[in-house]
Amino acid sequence: MSATLETGKVAPAATAPKSAKASRIEFANSLRGIAAFAVILGHLGNVYWTMGPMVDILTGVPYVAFAPPVLPTLVPLAWLGPFGVALFFTISGFVIPFSLDQYSVKGFIAGRLWRIWPTCWAGLTVTVLSVVIGVHFMGGQVPFTFRDAASQYFPPFSAIADARRIDSVMWTLEIEMFFYGICALAANHMREGRRTLWLFPVGIFLFWLAVDQAVARFQDYPGFVRRLASFDTDPVFLVFMFCGVALNLLHRGKLTLLQAAAAIAACCAMFASTQYIGHMPFPIDLGYYFAGLAVFVASMYLQAWFRRTRITKFLSDISYPLYVVHGVAGYVVLHALMRLQVNADLAILIAIVLAVAVAYAIHALVEAPTHRRGQRLARRLSA
């Protein structure tokens, strides 16, 4: 592992060959693709058909009568969305400390911005265009303003902009970006596995508790409550992400198994308690999140069984653009297919194939080149 200098920059150190390092976290790469596909199947195979009012709000296109698909009646799909998000959050908590071990704080921040923003811009542009085109051809009204859309292009700034959400997945990108900021502040604690690192999730929990109590007390001031809405939800997921950090420190030998288990138990307890003492605008199904964490832990234990295949590599490569592009655009595609009276199960398949195709195009044209540029900048800033 890299050594940390007094300047805070990371010096090159004797490390395992790149192929060996890659094989040790191949399970995380594979799970990233599985998580993305779980979310897309949950949204297009379940949410569209069971949460019509929310889909109407996001797309601006009115529902039409349709014959529901057979797939959700044969295989329960409602759990896939939160399960996939839980996997994503755990993977991020596990993987991000590796970047901090490789780059300086400045390099880390620059690399993360290049990693997240350009692909986010491409995916959101597809979302906005799909809504505008859908409303033009199928009727309805564009459900957001220019200001609403513009604020979403730079997560996490939309969290404090008091803007209408235009997508059903951007809230998770806000949380990711907040997590990067916290990791930058806690960089040396994470690199060295200091015990003081665990003051960060405790502090985040106490911050959430203060915001949540303020929201409960100031219901007569809706503008104020609206501006605090993101901070009454996002911090609890940040606490959950520290479960992945504990697993990273265990993986790197910075924590013993007992210490990692204690840290995970503490973070899970704080995360779960928010559902009993809080006033959050929407509930969290704790079972799905803990199931996602359990799958990650089991995969980490069995990581020697994971091998890179073409399918897992492809899904891992396109996981981020697939995640940001599939939601609202997929709903608009399903609206159009329902108006053409296409079989509902076939429509789900068509929408998924189109989402994968667009995600691959964004990966090849935007994500891969900008990620490489971000890595070069990060290395230069860390030299």
Q: How far is 356 from 311, CA to CA, in rounded Å? A: 12
206 falls in which pLDDT band (50, 70, 90)?
Answer: very high
Dihedral over alpha carbons 72, 73, 75, 79 (to 10 degrees): 60
Q: What Å distances lie between residue 36 and 80, 112, 256, 257, 308, CA to CA? A: 10, 19, 31, 29, 17
Q: What is the pLDDT of residues 256-292, one digit of tens each?
A: 999 999 999 999 999 999 999 988 777 889 999 999 9
Other CB atoms within a 10 A radius of the CB of residue 212 amount to 21
Q: How far is 205 from 116, CA to CA, in rounded Å? A: 25
Q: Percent of the chain at pLDDT above 70?
A: 93
Average pLDDT over residues 62-75: 83
The phi and psi torsions of 197 (rounded to 5 degrees) equal: -55, -35
Q: Give the predicted TM-score (pTM) of the model.
A: 0.89
Q: Give Cα 226 to chain centroid, integer Å.
A: 22
Q: How far is 338 from 184, CA to CA, in rounded Å? A: 47
